[in-house]
Structure 1
Amino acid sequence: MKKILIASTALVSTAGVAAADVALSGRAEMGIYQVSGTDAQFFTDIDVTFTMSGETDNGLTFGASVDLDEGGGTDNVQIGGVTAPGFSTQNRATGDNSDDGGATIFVSGAFGTVTMGDTDGALDWAMTEAGNVGNPGSIADDETSHGGYLGAYLDGAQDGQILRWDYTSGAFGVAVSLEDDNGSKAANTDVGYAVGFKYALDLSGTTVNFGLGYQKAAGAIAAGFTDQGSATGVSVSASFANGLSAGMTYTDMSDMANDKHYSLGLGYTTGAISVHANYGKYTDNAAVAGGADVKGYGLAAAYDLGGGAVVHFGYGSSKPTGGVSTKSASLGLGLSF
């Protein structure tokens, strides 16, 4: 089969308008995966992304991207090992224009960057998650799907469409974000908001990143969560010249079902080999019977074959205190185009 790579440039001929670039990239994954209590199954996934960018005559830059892997379906989000259906039910980029999951649009200038769509809120933007520390990834995301993992914080509490302004000057960055409440006129469904700060410290080959943020969600976001839940998070991560990376996070969600969350992450790369491990724990999880703690860990390993082909392995394990553990694993090939 002949492989065709497409990268095109759209030249806008209208006087006074700068040229715009349109690029197409893709990723395909194939392999096997298994969740405890089920048989092993085949795994396939294809992700195609269109990226567009341009610049005005006065230097204002703009762009957009759409992920065609997000073309249908809904999301069920896991928080503390509990699946919350409808927490982030998205109509995707092909559906309701007020809910463009998989699509982002930005405008950037001296004032900073304004982004709208399926993007990170300011807290998530500022934090370095444990699963992002030197993680080569896996085809089924086992290492970041366990019950002790915290990823999106309160993003997606309403329609999943986020408006974020961020500004970076040297090593310092700041962001503010809003998430729409679906236009509901019901009581206590104010627009959610977040603020975030980050700072990068360069220590002669070692980069240390600090993140701090606060987020308040709109409305009652899931069973067991209090109305207008909030989260305050802090993260510290470091990348060393020898290929080692490490990070840790702490998040306080004391007015929600999960009281507090802790996580640690480690990564190491040498040559074509990359390995990663992370651990996370929720305390006093009211969404679990008896308010038990929920903890879990994830492992990932990859071998780069070159040319965009990588062999991936992933493993995740979750266990509520005094409960039954669940595990998942995957092995396969990731192909980037």
Structure 2
Amino acid sequence: MKKLLIATTALVATAGVAAADVKLSGYGRFGLDYRADRGLPNGPGGAVTDSKTQVNMRMRLNIDASTETDSGVTFGGRFRLQSSTNSNATATSAALLYATYAGMRMEVGNTNNAFDTAKLVYNSEMGYLDRSFGDPITVGAAYSSSTGVANTMGIFASYNFGAGSVRVSWKTPDQTTNASVDEEVQISADYAFGQFTVSGVYSDNTGGLARKDYFIGAEYAVNSDINVGLLHFRGKPDGGASQNRTTLYGNYSMGAITYRGYVAHDNSMTLPFQTKTAFGLGLDYDLGGARLGADIHRSYDKETVAGLGVRFDF
């Protein structure tokens, strides 16, 4: 009887798993990371004793579970586990819940936002760390890989139609208080036609701060091996001066090797900015299921940033 009860329990548990769709995904990366500005007072870490060369690593695991109703609506959710360089623990994200149907998607909780999910915004990135000084000035309250701050709440909606997509998102830093808070509202849209892809974003109270941010970008695929793009970001705090960043980038693939490059211009001269121009060169080598990435940059504080490592996705 005991064995029968154990077998029955296992069967019921297995049936529950089979009725739902549970998936694991993520990536791992490791390598060397050199930053000449790491030992500067205004550099990463903010201490002159910081080591300029470090071993960098990250392990990310997404846990997705979903089920489909008889009417064709898919409901699901996601947790994320992540451990990164110099951490002695694994962070667990807050939950994201979603529903999808016929190209439409709605998220609640620790949601994505319209800026972070727009096409092209990160296309100048390179190396196994996927970085660039031509990245957005800020994208605001995107999906958080850590527990985040209590009482935050987001709502995200998107619709994909053929070669285009539109998104809108709302996030509040605290939904439990009646006090005046800056709620982030964003909208973005993308469209691809022929060899061109265009994308744009408008963001109000980005990151819960009293500011507005904009993005417009375009990419042209010369052929299957070559593409070039131009990105422009603008951020303006309420009552403050605007910051503009323009990035020109290009990629060229030849067999297993992809060469990457960009140059970015930013009109900000606040610390640690010492120059208005940054640039970078990178190379990816396809290992067949993983990639070896190398990158070298000159930052806005005129310091060298470089890396060499491996990234694999699963």
TM-score, length-scaled by structure 2: 0.74
Q: What is the Cα deviation at residue 35 of structure 1?
A: 1.2
Aligned twin of 2:16: 12
The CA deviation string for residues 189-209 of structure 1, in whole angstroms up to 9 with x for no partner, is: 23110111221112xxx2x11
Aligned residue among 209, 213, 218 for 2:201: 213
Contact 2:173/2:208, CA 8 A, preserved across alignment: no
Q: What is the Cα deviation at residue 180 of structure 1?
A: 1.3
Residues 154-165 of structure 1 aligned to structure 2 (within 5 Å): 154-155=140-141, 162-165=154-157
Aligned twin of 1:302: 284
Decide which structure has the larger Cα Rg and report it: 2
Contact 2:225/2:253, CA 8 A, preserved across alignment: yes
The CA deviation string for residues 226-246 of structure 1, in whole angstroms up to 9 with x for no partner, is: xx2001221111234331112
User: Residue type matched to 1:314 in 2?
Assistant: D
Aligned twin of 1:269: 253
Q: Is the counterpart of residue 132 in structure 1 residue 109 in structure 2?
A: no
Aligned twin of 1:33: 33
Aligned twin of 2:313: 336
Aligned twin of 1:3: none
Q: Please, what is the CA RMSD of the aligned residues?
A: 3.5
User: Residue type matched to 1:211 in 2?
Assistant: S
User: Residue type matched to 1:299 in 2?
Assistant: L
| Structure 1: stretches of 5+ with no match in the other structure | 1-8, 75-90, 95-99, 222-227
Contact 2:172/2:181, CA 8 A, preserved across alignment: no
Distance in 2 separating the partners of 1:310 and 1:41: 20
Distance in 2 separating the partners of 1:71 and 1:64: 23
Aligned twin of 2:181: 189
Distance in 2 separating the partners of 1:194 and 1:243: 33
User: Residue type matched to 1:234 in 2?
Assistant: I
Residues 159-308 of structure 1 aligned to structure 2 (within 5 Å): 162-183=154-175, 185=177, 188-202=180-194, 206=195, 208-217=196-205, 221=209, 228-255=210-237, 256=240, 258-285=242-269, 287-288=270-271, 294-306=276-288, 308=289
Aligned residue among 81, 93, 96 for 1:68: 81
Distance in 1 separating the partners of 2:92 and 2:290: 28
Q: What is the Cα deviation at residue 263 of structure 1?
A: 1.3
Aligned twin of 2:59: 46
The CA deviation string for residues 3-40 of structure 1, in whole angstroms up to 9 with x for no partner, is: xxxxxx96438xxxx93221223433232221115443
Distance in 2 separating the partners of 1:247 and 1:120: 24
| Structure 2: stretches of 5+ with no match in the other structure | 1-12, 40-50
Q: What is the Cα deviation at residue 112 of structure 1?
A: 1.4
Aligned twin of 1:312: 293
Distance 1:219 1:297, change over 3 A: closer
Distance in 1 separating the partners of 2:206 and 2:137: 18
Aligned twin of 1:21: 21
Q: What is the Cα deviation at residue 296 of structure 1?
A: 1.8
User: Residue type matched to 1:272 in 2?
Assistant: A
Q: What is the Cα deviation at residue 154 of structure 1?
A: 2.8
Distance in 1 separating the partners of 2:305 and 2:56: 13
Q: What is the Cα deviation at residue 114 of structure 1?
A: 0.6
User: Residue type matched to 1:270 in 2?
Assistant: M
User: Residue type matched to 2:306 in 1?
Assistant: A
Distance 1:164 1:151, change over 3 A: farther
Q: What is the Cα deviation at residue 173 of structure 1?
A: 1.9
Distance in 2 separating the partners of 1:310 and 1:149: 21
Identity %: 22
Q: Secondary structure at the match of 1:12?
A: helix
Distance in 2 separating the partners of 1:283 and 1:154: 20
User: Residue type matched to 1:253 in 2?
Assistant: G
Distance in 2 separating the partners of 1:162 and 1:184: 13
Q: Secondary structure at the match of 2:82?
A: helix
Q: What is the Cα deviation at residue 331 of structure 1?
A: 1.0
Q: What is the Cα deviation at residue 46 of structure 1?
A: 2.0
Q: What is the Cα deviation at residue 62 of structure 1?
A: 2.5
Contact 1:10/1:22, CA 8 A, preserved across alignment: no
Q: Secondary structure at the match of 1:138?
A: coil
TM-score, length-scaled by structure 1: 0.70
Distance in 2 separating the partners of 1:73 and 1:190: 33
Q: What is the Cα deviation at residue 52 of structure 1?
A: 2.5
